[in-house]
Structure formats: C-alpha cells, structure tokens
Structure 1
Amino acid sequence: MSSTPPCRICAAPVQEFFDFGRQPLSDAFPAPDADFSQEFFFRLAVGVCESCTMVQLMEEVPRDKMFHEEYPYFSSGSAFMREHFTNLAKQLLADELTAEDPFIVELGCNDGVMLKAIADHGVRHLGVEPSASVADVAASKGIRVRTSFFEEATAREIHAEDGPADVIYAANTLCHIPYMGSILAGVNALLKPTGVFVFEDPYLGDIVERTSFDQIYDEHFYFFTARSVQEMARRNGLELVHVERLTVHGGEVRYFLAPAGQRTPSEAVAALVAEETERKLSDLATLKAFGANVVKIREDLTALLTKLRDEGKTVVGYGATAKSATVTNLCGIGPDLVPFICDTTPAKQGRLSPGTHIPVKTPDAFSSEYPDYALLFAWNHAEEIMAKEQEFREAGGKWILYVPTVHVV
C-alpha cells in the first residue's frame, strides 16, 4: 500500500480500502500486431477521504491518455440510453430552459444524443467534448461543439462568446475529472445566478450494495454520494438543491447544484443524506466489506469459467465495455477462458481487449454459432440485450453475470 495522498476535493488524508492491482487503460483496445511492451498500465486502487467522505482513485491517469481522437464510446449505441437522454432533454426544456433565449452547455456531450433533442427545439446550446471522434459525430448532427476539455479558462471564453448559461449539464463525465476545483470555478463563471448545474454519475450506494466493482476503472476518478457532493459543492460556492435516483448504468444519481442561497434544497437531498448515514456508506469498515465481496466474486467467476472450459463448454464475452477491463484484468480472464468478446462498436472490432488481449469480434461471430454460455460484461443493459438475443436462449444458451454475485441465467 502506497503513502496516503491528499483528497482532491479538500486535501485531507485518503484511506485506501481496495487495490485492483495492475490495470490497463479501459478503452485502449490494441491492434493484434501492436507492440504490447508499450501498453500503459497503472495501479487501480480506491480510497475514501477522512473528512469530506469523497471516494476516489488513489492514482490519476493523465487525461490525454484516456480522452482523445480515437475514443471509442458512443452514447447513442443503446436505445435505452437514447430514450433516457431524450426524456432528460424534455425535463430541462420544461423546468429550466424557460427564460427568453435560454442557453445550455453540456460537458462531455459525446455524440450529441442529448443536445440533439435540445437543438430540435431551437434552443441555443454548446457541447464541450475533448474526444474528436465523438465530437465530429455530434457536429454531423447539427450540434454546436467545442472540441476541448472544460475548465475555468474554457468557461470564461464561452461566457465571453455566448453569455451566461441557464443550465450546465454533464452525464457520466464529472466523475472522470480529478481537477474538480477548476471545473466548479468554471461552472460559477459561466452559470447564471438563477441557473443550475445538473450532472449524473454512478452512485457509490449502488456500487456497494450490488458489488458492481467494474464501475471502478481508470476513467472513473470519483464515486459520488449525496453527502460528498454536498461537501464538494459547499467548498466551491455552490449548494446541492435536489437529487434524483436513476436506474441507468447499474444505478446513478442526478445531482442539481445551484449558486449558494439561490434555491431551497428539496426534501430529497436530506432524505438521501440520511439514508447514507444510516447505511454507514462512507465508513471504512463498510468499504472494506465491499472489497471482501469483490474478492469473492473474483474467486467464484474464475472457478466457474475454469470449470466450464475443463468440461469443454464454450464461453464468449458479450460487450467489450470499459468496465470489462477491470473484470478481466482483476480475474486474469484471457483467451484461454473466453476466446473472444462480441461487440457492436466498429472501432473495437478486430482489436484486442485491454491488458488481457481477448479478440473483439462483430455480433455475427456470436450468432453464427451460438456458444454454450455468454459472459455478459454489459450487464447494465441486460434487459435490452437479453430481449434482443432471444434466439441464443432458445438455442440453449445461458448468460453468466457477476453482479451482484456470480450467477447463471
């Protein structure tokens, strides 16, 4: 265990509670002929701040290694997520974007799936997206995009060009950014006094309850709770005024931050903070128990896959997700146990999984000759995927899942 680093929110000591060991970049899929000696690895360990209770990674991966012109994730890939973002756009249009000539800025707009619904209503908008590949897709839809990272200087430039924002929004983005002080200074610089900063990210409460440990990977630096967000906001001139629980991506919370004193916090905020206190969610003992559950899943999953291989059963992976890198590298799952992973993302097809080098193939490889079992890495889309793959089940195929425990369905 390394020396205790300071919290990136409040500078108090951070206590490590689980070490996932040597891990690769979760979205860096090397070509089969790549020089694997150049593959980037880091120590993936997670800890909790003794003071503000923010759960965070112990080591930061340089942002330009993760988010760049070849970034392969596209938000529009799931019909469920397209509907989710369309509904959110309708909610913002009805509740927040009601002033004359409203303006919304999205941090990490990806391929523009949410802003497209905003743009279709003629509302002024801007997406700030550092990954050129997905930013270009957003621009092709008519979305106004700035290809850069968001920080205080960026916010001041946007304010000078477009004026203040009624809404700043981020989905599955804020937890990626270690330099939170600059982000929130930018929010303060760009947001109207009457405006709101809305963001949604994986919720620590769901991760601990479900032992969904694969939510922890290089791109996720912070794991938020209502209490830690409340503290983070308070230290940066903002106030947590509302929270909404979400079912997407295995459990998230949508947080609403406003300039301090501008809005009355809803009862939902106090209720969620009280629930977290009752659960002792940020206690070191609770988090170490989560780590013990992760070890149990690792043992059970490797034992099951080894048993199936020894019995001559075929097992393939389904969904070359960023999360799957944590699972395969923690458990030592390589091509000997899972010969390939099928995925719908063209940028990943024909390449190898990070670290463990399992070939990634097109969905045709899955359906042309169904395996006996499919290891569902994209478990957060289980309902949508299983409905689409009914023929696999009818052919006698079974799904292997590992959240909240290892089980076969």
Structure 2
Amino acid sequence: MSNQSLCRVCGGTVREFFDFGRQPLSDAFLPPGADLGEEFFYRLATGLCESCTMVQLMEEVPRERMFHQEYPYHSSGSAHMRGHFEELAKRLLTTELAGDDPFVVEVGCNDGVMIKALAEAGVRHLGVEPSGGVADLAAAKGIRVRKSFFEESTAKEIRAADGPADVVYAANTLCHIPYIGSVLSGVAALLAPTGVFVFEDPYLSDIVEQTSFDQIYDEHFFFFTVRSVQAMAAGHGLELVDVERLPVHGGEVRYTLAHAGARRPSPAVAELLAEEDARRLGELDTLRRFGENVLRIRDDLTALLRRLRAEGKRVVAYGATAKSATVTNLCGIGPDLVEFVCDTTPAKQGRLTPGTHIPVVPPEEFSRSYPDYALLFAWNHAAEIMAKEQAFTDSGGQWILYVPSVRTV
C-alpha cells in the first residue's frame, strides 16, 4: 500500500496524512439475513497534493457502488436544509436567473428540494441525478430530471438540446466526484458566456478546526479550500469569483465560478485565501496534527461508551448518517456499546449499519423507552434534533457529542 498517489485534479503528487483503516460503503445498510461475508470494504485514507493543495482520498470507490437505485439519502429530510435551499432559490431568481428565459441545471439534484422552487417559478430547468430512486422522487414533484452522471459528454448533450445554462448548481455533490476534470470541462462547455457555476461543499478549514473527521467517508472524495478550488478552476478556463461561508453541515463554503475574465472576483475570495494561508491549511504538518486530534477523539469516545456500558447505562444512537460509518468503524462501535440507532429514513429502518451492524429502527423506538444516553451522529442538525426531542432531555437523558471533542450535554 502506497502512501502517495497522483492528484485527480492536477496530476501532482498526493502525500497521505491520515489512514482511517478498513471501512465499508457508508450508505450500504444491510438487510436482515444479509451475508456479512459479502460486505464491501476499502481503505479510507486522506492525502494532500503537493502542487495544487487539493486534499483527497487516496483510493477511489467505484461510483456505481455508491450512487444507484437504492441510494437512501434524501435532501429534503431536514426542515433546516429545506429552508436553506429555498432561500438560495429565491436569491437566484432575483440575480442570475432574472433575465429573459433563463436556464438552470442542477448536478446531483437528489429529490429536487432546491430546483423545485425554481421550477415552480417557471424557470427552464434540468436536474441531473444518477441515483434512480431519488431521481424518481424529484420527477414526481414535476421536475425535469435526467437519470445519469454529469460529465463532459452529458453537458454537451444538454447544451445541444436546451442551449447554454445561466446557472449550473451543485450542493454536496461536486466533492463526491473523482472524475472532476470531466465535470469542470462539462460546466465550461455548458455555461453561457456570463453564466456561473455555483457549488457548496464541506470546507476543509472547518473540518480541521472542529476535527469533524466524520465528514471524511467514501462519498466525499475531495475536501475543498479556496486555494485548491482556484487551481482546479484555472485548469478548465474558469475562475473563482466569489465565496460565501455557510453554517450548514458543520461548515461549508459556497463557491461561484465563471468563465475566466468574465467577472471581477469579489474581495471575499482574497480575504478567505489569506485566512487559509494564516492557518497553514495547505501544509502536511497542519493536517497531521488534525490526524492526532482524530485519534484523541476516538480514544475518548470509546472510553466513555465502555464506561457507560460497565455502569449498566442504556446508550442508543440518533441519526443513521453516512458519516457515522467513519465513526463507528474507526472506533469499533457495535451493538455491544450502542443498542440501536434511530433514523427517520424508511429505507434504512430494519437494516444494520455498515461494517458494525447496529440495528436501525424508526424514531418511535427512541421515545418508547428513553435511554440514559443518545450518541448524536447527526450532530450537524443538533439544534433541530434537540428541540424536537426535548422530552428526552426532560426525562433526564443526555446527548453524547464528539465534535469538536467528546462531551455529554
């Protein structure tokens, strides 16, 4: 096993800085009676490109294994995220999509939570979504959907059929795509001369600062910064012209790209770039220290769970998130430490968590007989969940959090 590889963005040398070990597919929840010997595992490790500073996974999981007809994540599952996307849709309608007969393409539209608001406003639109089940949900809402992966050939076909796009948008999608060169070439081919590519994804600076290591799993191949996005854009005739920090999902950045020279970059780009340089985000030593913090959290969390178990306390988990696979498998958290994990997604209920095989149950099981402690895997929705489950806290229950450190509340 090599501790270096070639950068998927620029071809430079990627040096490994942390190995999470043997991990399963994060969204491959196992049905009852599944042959556990057939479960797919891979090595989850992260590295830094010495040339363009893009942080990326050292090994790629085949995309068809992750995004398929049964893909269980639904963007509209969180009220907070629904509000987030609706707010952006309103903004686009008064800015980039305010012209004559505008056209928008969303890459990875999922169940259509964002593009639905634009469709209802009469905007010509197309969602591109490879996961058939969620694409069907979007289509059922009246959204025009193309079931496919977005790449250069797809983009050229869309342009030939629909004309240039005023906006290409992607939320929590671009970081999933190892063949990113083809995507950016496609964006450049599809965008109108004054069009923009707007995408938002987890921000490496927030991940490092908060040690939110569970943002690293099979579906997240890249971890963006302003510097690495600038370099990535430049290789495809595009330019980073705006950045906006977002409080969702533990900290993201919304990046806006345009054809090189088409727009004057916002001062926010230089400001955030200066912050990154001050934090030495593009240096291996910084990222290795992040790895040391991950190991500290691993040790603290497992010690706490073992102590609670020894004391006879009931511990369950809340939120069968994709990112929880990284936590449970790195820490060795199975049904011996956590009784079950409750989740609102019907497709996950009645199944077992990937790799560690904790039963997933509906949320009603949580309130049927409150546990002593609830390990909050969906910590990025903590405020929403804790407000909803106030009765648990009132009954004396405590939440276990592990970002940025292990604690009970």
TM-score higher than 0.5: yes
Please give the alpha-carbon distance, in whole angstroms, between the structure 1 residues aligned to 2:32 and 2:213. Answer: 28
Deviating runs (4+, > 6 A) in structure 1? Answer: none
Cα drift, residue 17 of structure 1 = 0.3
Please give the alpha-carbon distance, in whole angstroms, between the structure 2 residues aligned to 1:99 and 1:260. Answer: 21
Report what 1:238 is aligned to. 238
Q: Pairwise mapping of residues 39-78 of structure 1 onto structure 2 (< 5 A)?
A: 39-78=39-78
Report what 1:153 is aligned to. 153
Report what 1:215 is aligned to. 215
Report what 2:187 is aligned to. 187
1:273 aligns with 2:273: yes
Please give the alpha-carbon distance, in whole angstroms, between the structure 1 residues aligned to 2:236 and 2:45. Answer: 26
1:351 aligns with 2:346: no
User: SS of the residue aligned with 2:217?
Assistant: coil
Please give the alpha-carbon distance, in whole angstroms, between the structure 2 residues aligned to 1:214 and 1:3. Answer: 21
Please give the alpha-carbon distance, in whole angstroms, between the structure 2 residues aligned to 1:392 and 1:3. Answer: 45
- How many residue pairs match? The answer is 409
Deviation digits for residues 272-302 of structure 1, max 9, x if unmatched? 0000001101110000000000000000000
- The alignment-based identity, stated in percent, is 74
Letter in 2 for 1:100: D
Cα drift, residue 97 of structure 1 = 0.4
Letter in 2 for 1:108: G
Please give the alpha-carbon distance, in whole angstroms, between the structure 2 residues aligned to 1:142 and 1:267. Answer: 39
Please give the alpha-carbon distance, in whole angstroms, between the structure 2 residues aligned to 1:365 and 1:331. Answer: 25
Letter in 1 for 2:179: Y
Letter in 1 for 2:132: A
Please give the alpha-carbon distance, in whole angstroms, between the structure 2 residues aligned to 1:371 and 1:278. Answer: 44
1:252 aligns with 2:243: no
User: SS of the residue aligned with 2:323?
Assistant: helix
Asked if the contact 2:107–2:173 (Cα under 8 Å) also holds between the matched residues in 1, the reply is yes
Asked if the contact 2:4–2:47 (Cα under 8 Å) also holds between the matched residues in 1, the reply is no
Please give the alpha-carbon distance, in whole angstroms, between the structure 1 residues aligned to 2:139 and 2:87. Answer: 21
Letter in 2 for 1:124: R
Report what 1:368 is aligned to. 368
Cα drift, residue 4 of structure 1 = 1.6
Please give the alpha-carbon distance, in whole angstroms, between the structure 1 residues aligned to 2:394 and 2:339. Answer: 22
Please give the alpha-carbon distance, in whole angstroms, between the structure 2 residues aligned to 1:308 and 1:382. Answer: 22
Letter in 1 for 2:360: V
1:388 aligns with 2:388: yes
Letter in 1 for 2:288: K
Deviation digits for residues 227-271 of structure 1, max 9, x if unmatched? 000000011110000000000000000000000000000000000
- TM-score computed with the length of structure 1 as normaliser: 1.00
Cα drift, residue 3 of structure 1 = 4.5
Report what 2:336 is aligned to. 336
Please give the alpha-carbon distance, in whole angstroms, between the structure 2 residues aligned to 1:270 and 1:322. Answer: 33
Cα drift, residue 120 of structure 1 = 1.1
1:398 aligns with 2:398: yes
Please give the alpha-carbon distance, in whole angstroms, between the structure 2 residues aligned to 1:296 and 1:212. Answer: 12
Deviation digits for residues 71-97 of structure 1, max 9, x if unmatched? 000000000000000001011111100
Cα drift, residue 32 of structure 1 = 2.1
User: SS of the residue aligned with 2:4?
Assistant: coil
Gaps of 5+ in 1: none
Report what 1:227 is aligned to. 227
Asked if the contact 2:3–2:16 (Cα under 8 Å) also holds between the matched residues in 1, the reply is no
Report what 2:286 is aligned to. 286
Report what 1:81 is aligned to. 81
Asked if the contact 2:193–2:262 (Cα under 8 Å) also holds between the matched residues in 1, the reply is yes
Report what 2:310 is aligned to. 310
Gaps of 5+ in 2: none
Please give the alpha-carbon distance, in whole angstroms, between the structure 2 residues aligned to 1:316 and 1:6. Answer: 41
Cα drift, residue 320 of structure 1 = 0.1
Q: Pairwise mapping of residues 76-115 of structure 1 onto structure 2 (< 5 A)?
A: 76-115=76-115
Cα drift, residue 37 of structure 1 = 1.0
User: SS of the residue aligned with 2:45?
Assistant: strand
1:263 aligns with 2:289: no
Letter in 2 for 1:66: M
Asked if the contact 2:104–2:168 (Cα under 8 Å) also holds between the matched residues in 1, the reply is yes
Please give the alpha-carbon distance, in whole angstroms, between the structure 2 residues aligned to 1:232 and 1:129. Answer: 23
